[in-house]
């Protein structure tokens, strides 16, 4: 293995670097607090597809997790305070049983680092490998764990899974009439009823003026109480004021699910390639324009291609020289395929 930078390219202020080497050592060479987004997929436990080098060849799940988490500490060191980390992991069946390795990893990270797990985003593979098992269903999902160092992590919700805003339907004259009846038939006190009618007037006005798409109202004693921690604010308002109003903006709901087929690359035998489309979504969501993306297990270079197409810089590290060369070629091809106007848009 020849360590070091094997590809380095600048396009105006954006830069792309493929580093061949062990992440554990190479990460120490990167400047602290220099990266906006780490997005990666460590080698799976005992898959052995990447040869005997590197991670994944440990004897036990515990040793494997320890190695991944040791490198995770070095990853966290290079992250800006506003930065985000996304780790995608696959599971392993041992003695007929799933090990829940990705979740063991996430719990270990939460126990050992002072950061938060913002989302467990599920990638639904719309074309899983079609072998049928007689006594097991086909696994067709993988988690992408989104961690952030602090509360002020960069986030561009609007840029994620962009879709057209729903057109508001024309509000009818009867808008809110049903809720008025429910307020009157409820056991709220007179002052609570007055407050509920006033809030209803305001939200109906917002709908008529096109500020929001629609709304729902929940009234104490009429509607079932909200469950779960994330519904805590609504529950509190119902208890305190007798009602709560949920304002619906018409923006498509941004769910923690990405459906996308598994990809393979013509002429490239890397066994675990990220779908570039999924990585592009996550880069738009979690990395500012012109920011720096890092993939410490670069593989075939999908993260770098996605970063390039989204106008972000990228550093990638992989222990396999062959994969580094493949990644470099993919990046060169992607650069070559970009038309001049597309390039101008990026920069
Ligand atoms: C799951 S693959 C990444 C695939 C990548 N996301 C893609 O789209 O092609 C994991 C990669 O980690 C690399 N690897 C294993 N141990 C490593 C280490 N200690 N340092 C850097 N890379 C390592 C393997 O060579 C492999 O390419």
Report which of residues 309 and 55 the model is more confident about: 309
Please state the rounded mean pLDDT for residues 91-108: 96
Cα three-residue angle 323-49-320, rounded to 5 degrees? 25
Statement: residue 79 has pLDDT above 90: yes
pLDDT for the residue numbered 204: 95
Q: Is the CB of 325 under 6 A from ligand 1?
A: no
Instruction: Name the residue among 219, 248, 249 with its Cα closest to residue 234.
Output: 219
* pTM of the predicted model over 0.85: no
Ligand 1 atom with least separation from CA of 317: 21
**Which residues, other chains included, contact 70 with Cβ-Cβ below 8 Å and sequence gap of 6+?**
24
Q: In this structure, how many other beta carbons lie within 10 angstroms of the beta carbon of residue 254?
A: 12
pLDDT for the residue numbered 331: 92
pLDDT band at 272 (very low <50, low <70, confident <90, very high): confident
Q: Is 88 within 8 Å of 157 (Cβ atoms)?
A: no
Which H/E stretch holds residue 89?
none
Statement: residue 271 has pLDDT above 60: yes
Q: Which CATH architecture has domain 4-162+254-346?
A: 3-Layer(aba) Sandwich (3.40)
Instruction: Name the residue among 277, 250, 281, 275 with its Cα closest to residue 262.
Output: 275
Domain boundaries, the chain: 4-162+254-346, 177-248
**Which of 32-41, 53-62, 173-182, 185-194 bottoms out in mean pLDDT, i.e. has the lowest?**
53-62
Q: Is the CB of 272 under 6 A from ligand 1?
A: yes
pLDDT band at 342 (very low <50, low <70, confident <90, very high): low
Q: What is the DSSP string of 212-265?
A: SSEEEEEETTTSPPP-SGGGHHHHHHHHHHSEEEEEE--SPP--SEEEE----B
pLDDT per residue over 191-201, tens digit each?
A: 999 999 999 99
pLDDT band at 166 (very low <50, low <70, confident <90, very high): low
Return the best residue to mutate from 318, 326, 331 for the ligand 1 pocket (most ligand atoms within 8 A of CB): 318
Statement: residue 345 has pLDDT above 80: no
Report which of residues 328 and 335 the model is more confident about: 328
CA separation for the pair 2, 320 (Å, rounded): 9
Which residue lies with its CA nearest to atom 1 of ligand 1?
43
pLDDT for the residue numbered 249: 84
Q: Is 158 exposed, middle or buried (0-12, 13-18, 19+ CB in 10 A)?
A: exposed
pLDDT per residue over 211-267, tens digit each?
A: 888 999 999 999 887 665 555 688 889 999 999 999 988 877 889 999 999 887 777
Statement: residue 293 has pLDDT above 60: yes
Statement: residue 278 has pLDDT above 80: yes
Report which of residues 157 and 234 the model is more confident about: 157
Q: Is the CB of 319 under 6 A from ligand 1?
A: yes
pLDDT band at 1 (very low <50, low <70, confident <90, very high): very low
Half-sphere exposure of residue 237, counting CA atoms within 13 Å on the CB side? 14
Å from CA of 77 to ligand 1 middle: 20
Statement: residue 43 has pLDDT above 70: yes
Return the best residue to mutate from 55, 58, 264, 293 for the ligand 1 pocket (most ligand atoms within 8 A of CB): 55
Q: Report the sign of the C-alpha dihedral through residues 168, 174, 176, 178, in that order.
A: negative
Please state the rounded mean pLDDT for residues 261-279: 83
Which residue lies with its CA nearest to atom 5 of ligand 1?
299
Please state the rounded mean pLDDT for residues 113-133: 91
């Amino acid at each position: 293995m020849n360590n070091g930078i094997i590809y380095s390219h600048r396009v105006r202020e954006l830069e792309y670097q493929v580093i061949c080497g062990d992440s554990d050592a190479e990460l120490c060479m990167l400047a602290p607090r220099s990266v906006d987004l780490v997005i990666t997929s460590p080698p799976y436990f005992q898959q052995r597809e990447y040869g005997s080098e590197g991670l994944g060849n440990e004897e036990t799940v515990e040793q494997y997790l320890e190695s991944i988490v040791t490198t995770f500490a070095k990853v966290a060191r290079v992250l800006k305070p506003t930065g985000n980390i996304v780790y995608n992991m696959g599971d392993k069946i041992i003695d007929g049983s799933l090990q829940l390795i990705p979740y063991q990893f996430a719990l270990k990270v939460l126990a050992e680092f002072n950061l938060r797990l913002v989302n467990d985003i599920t990638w639904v593979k719309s074309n899983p490998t079609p072998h049928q098992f007689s006594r097991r269903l086909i696994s067709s999902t993988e988690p992408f764990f989104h961690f952030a160092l602090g509360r002020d992590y960069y986030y561009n919700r609007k840029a994620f899974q962009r879709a057209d805003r729903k057109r508001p339907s024309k509000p009818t004259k009867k808008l809110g009439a049903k809720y008025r009846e429910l307020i009157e038939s409820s056991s709220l006190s007179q002052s609570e009823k007055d407050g509920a009618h006033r809030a209803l007037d305001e939200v109906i006005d917002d709908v008529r003026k096109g500020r929001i798409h629609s709304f729902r109202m929940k009234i104490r004693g009429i509607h079932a109480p909200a469950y779960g921690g994330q519904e805590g604010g609504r529950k509190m308002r119902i208890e305190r004021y007798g009602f709560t109003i949920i304002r619906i903006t018409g923006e498509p709901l941004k769910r923690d699910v990405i459906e996308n087929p598994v990809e393979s690359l013509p002429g490239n035998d890397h066994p675990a390639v990220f779908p570039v489309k999924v990585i592009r979504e996550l880069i738009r969501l979690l990395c500012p324009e012109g920011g720096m993306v890092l993939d410490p297990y670069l593989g075939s270079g999908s993260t770098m291609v996605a970063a390039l197409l989204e106008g972000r810089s990228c550093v990638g590290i992989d222990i396999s020289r062959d994969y580094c060369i493949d990644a470099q070629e993919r990046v060169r091809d992607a650069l070559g395929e970009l038309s001049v106007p597309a390039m101008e848009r990026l920069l």
